[in-house]
Structure 1
Amino acid sequence: MYLQQLSFINFKNYAEAEVSLAEGVNAFVGNNGAGKTNLLDAVHYLSLCKSYFNPIDSQQIKQGADFFMINGIFKKNGHKEVVACGVKRNQKKQFKRNKKDYQRLADHIGLLPLVMISPYDISIIIEGSEERRKFIDNVISQTDHNYLDELIAYNKVLVNRNSLLKQIADTGRYDPELLAVFDEQLTASGKRIFEKRRAFMEVFTGIFNRHYQFISEDAEQVELVYESQLLHNDFTALLNKAIERDRVLERTTNGIHKDDLLFNIHGMAMKKFGSQGQQKSFLIALKLAQYTFLTQKNGFKPLLLLDDIFDKLDDNRITKLMQMVSNNDFGQVLITDTSTSRVKGIFDSINVSVKLFKVTEGSIA
């Protein structure tokens, strides 16, 4: 699968732009703030129906305009897929595939899988557990539509249960029967999500280890561990045991919404003891493992978007990474960087052709 053509109007800092892409490596070079990352974000919209960086669609509209439109022509299994995304101020987002509107955006997720690697990914390491759960959910959702529906159902019940706990605290009226209904719904969805996450991590961890060892040349010992309360406890028993605490705190304190991933280096937390280069290598290995997992599950290669990843990596790791993403295990790659000579030098050294684009303020050549 690859993206043949991309065009957009009034998207972020672009009034209008159109590019035809190579099936292999495409590099977008320009100064910081020129719009390189915005171009990758437009591709992310077409794949996952949203921005990679900002959840508010209206904030992606170019200043002074009333709408934005993104169009993409993909080639997948010999067939053409035409995808369009449009947003008007104060109106619902429109998303079309081959000129037909989607009833649910969730139905598009996984059709055109994509992996993005960006400096913003550092939040997966340094921020709270929600960022790491989002990572797990993003990967599984691109291979399993039922998982996404289950996740939506779980979160809806969680909101209802938390509202009931707050209502009990506000009114003093305890409704054990309604709480039992919510508990039953929460545990049913929660157990199914937990089993899918556990099965995913059993496969994913081995893939991650192989990628990190390749990038680092076995220079460090790292560890990726799935942590869940349900690994050692029954969900229903957890809810029953915590009911008094939940009532005091007015929220549900146990469940798969507390799951986490532990990132370690030499037995210590990557967040505290990993250097910037080690953290970046860890994140890249994590995302490349995502790419490999999606390829194995879907039977075709996703798009790979690499946003400004050369910074803080030594030359050896950069070369190893580019060797990896330029071989037959990977398909179309879109890269951004600030240095034309660096991009040319890297790909000349590994004898890989690259289509080079020059990005200036709001234009691509």
Structure 2
Amino acid sequence: MWLKNITLLNFKNYSDANVSFSKTVNAFVGDNGAGKTNLLDAIHYLCLCKGYFNPIDTQQIKTNEDLFMIQGDFERLEKNEKITCGVKRNQKKQFKRNKKEYDKLAHHIGLFPLVMVSPYDTNIIMEGSEERRRFMDNVISQTDSNYLDELILYNKHLLNRNALLKQISVSKSYDPSLLEIFNDQLVASGLKIFAKRQAFMIHFIPLFNKYYQFLTEDNEQVGLQYQSQLTDTNFEQLLVQSVEKDKVLERTTTGIHKDELIFTISDMPLKKFGSQGQQKSFVISLKLSQYAYLQKHKGFKPLLLLDDIFDKLDDNRVSKLMEMVSHHDFGQIFITDTGKERVLAIFEKIATPLTIFEVNKGTLSHA
């Protein structure tokens, strides 16, 4: 799979742009704030129906404009595919594949798999468990459309149960049979999600270990573990046991929405005891493992987007990453960097074809 071209209209700082890409490595170079990362975000929209950095669609519209549009032509499984995304203020987002609008955006997820690596990804380590669940859900959703449907259903049931708990707190009385119905709904969806997360981690952890060992030349001992309340206890039983606590707190305190990924280095929490370099290596290893997992389960290579990472890694880690690129482990790659000469030097060293675009205040040109 590869993205042949992209057209932007009023997207972020781009009034109008149209650019064609090579099948191998495409680099966007320019000063900070020129709009390099915005191009990656536009590609992310085409593949996953939303921006990578900001979930609010209308905030991507160029200042003083009423809409934005992104269009891209892909070659996928030897077929040409046209994807169009349009957002107009106060209107529903339009998303089309080959001019046909989707009934549900979830039906698009996974057709055009993508992995994004960004300096902001350290949030996976530094922020709360929601970030780590989002990472896990993103990978599984791109390989299993039923998983995303089940996740949406679970969150709907969770909202209903939490609303009932708030109502109980106000009225000081409740119908146990109604709570039991919500419990049953939550359990039905939750068990399916739990089973799929467990199965995913069995395949994912060995991939992660392989990439981390390669990047760091096996000099560090790190750990990745999936933790869930459902591992040792029946979900239905958990909900019954926690009902009094839930009524006091007015929210559901047990379930797969409390799942966690545990990151360690030398058996200590990575967040507290990992250096910046170790944390970056950990995150990049997660993303490369995501890429390998998607490739294995989709049967073709996803897009790989690398946002400003050469500036954030030491020379050794850059060399190891580029060694993988030169061995053709990846398909089409998009890179942003502030230094044109640095990008040229890196890819000249590994003898990999490179197309460079210079970005300047929302305009694009071939270097």
* d(CA) in 1 for partners of 2:185, 2:45: 32
Report SS of the residue matched to 1:64: coil
Match of 1:150 in 2: 150
Q: Which amino acid aligns with 1:257?
A: H
Counterpart residue type for residue 227 of structure 2: E
What is the match of residue 202 of structure 1?
Answer: 202
User: Aligned partners of 2:312 and 2:279: how far apart in 1?
Assistant: 10
Deviation at 1:321, TM superposition (A): 0.3
Letter in 2 for 1:245: K
Q: Does 1:24 align with 2:24?
A: yes
Q: Deviations over 1:225-254 (max 9, x none)?
A: 101001111101111111100011010000
Asked if the contact 2:326/2:351 (under 8 Å) is kept, the reply is: no
1:241-260 correspondence runs (5 A)? 241-260=241-260
CA distance in 2, matches of 1:105, 1:325: 32
SS in 2 for 1:262: strand
Range 270-279 or range 130-139, more displaced: 270-279
AA in 1 matched with 2:40? L
**Aligned counterparts of 2:240 and 2:96: Cα–Cα separation in 1:** 45
Q: Which residue of 1 aligns with 2:349?
A: 349
| Aligned residues: CA RMSD | 0.7
- Find the aligned partners of 1:224 and 1:295 in 2 and give their Cα distance: 21
**Corresponding residue for 1:314?**
314
Letter in 1 for 2:200: F
Q: Distance in 1 between matches of 2:326 and 2:285?
A: 15
Q: What does residue 291 of structure 1 align with? A: 291
What secondary structure is seen at the aligned counterpart in 1 of 2:143? coil
Structure 1 unaligned regions, length at least 5: none
Q: Amino acid of the residue matched to residue 350 of structure 1? A: I
Name the % identity: 64
3-state SS of 1:252 partner: coil
**How many Å separate the matches in 2 of 1:91 and 1:45?**
17
One-letter amino acid of the structure 2 residue matched with residue 319 of structure 1: S
Question: Letter of the aligned partner of 1:294 in structure 2?
Answer: L
Rounded Cα–Cα distance in structure 2 between residues aligned with 1:61 and 1:9 = 9
Q: Which piece of structure 1 moves more, 212-221 or 319-328?
A: 319-328
Which residue of structure 2 aligns with residue 34 of structure 1?
Answer: 34
CA shift for structure 1 position 120 = 1.2
Partner of 1:119: 119
Q: Indicate the residue corresponding to 1:337 in structure 2.
A: 337
Q: How far, CA to CA, are the matches of 2:71 and 2:325 in structure 1?
A: 26
What is the identity, as a one-letter code, of the residue corresponding to 1:113? Answer: P
Are 1:46 and 1:83, in contact at CA under 8 Å, matched by a contact in 2? yes
Whether the 8 Å contact between 1:276 and 1:312 is mirrored in structure 2 is no
Q: Aligned residue for 1:71?
A: 71
SS at the partner of 1:26? Answer: strand
Matched residue SS, 1:153: helix
In structure 2, the partner of 1:87 is 87
**Which residue of structure 2 aligns with residue 239 of structure 1?**
239
2:162 is matched with 162
- Alpha-carbon distance in 1 for matches of 2:312, 2:85: 34
Between the aligned partners of 2:339 and 2:277, the Cα distance in structure 1 is 19
Question: What residue in structure 1 maps to residue 274 of structure 2?
Answer: 274
Report deviation, 1:320.
0.8
1:7 corresponds to? 7
Runs of 4+ in structure 1 deviating by more than 3 angstroms, as ranges, are none
Alignment partners' CA distance in 1, 2:101 and 2:114: 21
Residue-by-residue CA offset, 1:300-356 (whole Å, 9 max, x unaligned): 110000000112311111011012134322100000000011101111111112111
1:136 matched to 2:136: yes
- In 1, the alpha carbon distance for the partners of 2:201 and 2:7 equals 37
Is the CA contact 2:14–2:62 (under 8 Å) kept in the aligned structure 1?
yes
Alpha-carbon contact 2:119-2:312 (below 8 Å) kept: no
Cα distance in 2, alignment partners of residues 203 and 224 from structure 1 = 12
Q: Matched residues in 1 for 2:349 and 2:337: separation?
A: 17
Q: Give 1:77 shift.
A: 1.4
Aligned-residue offset at 1:173? 1.6
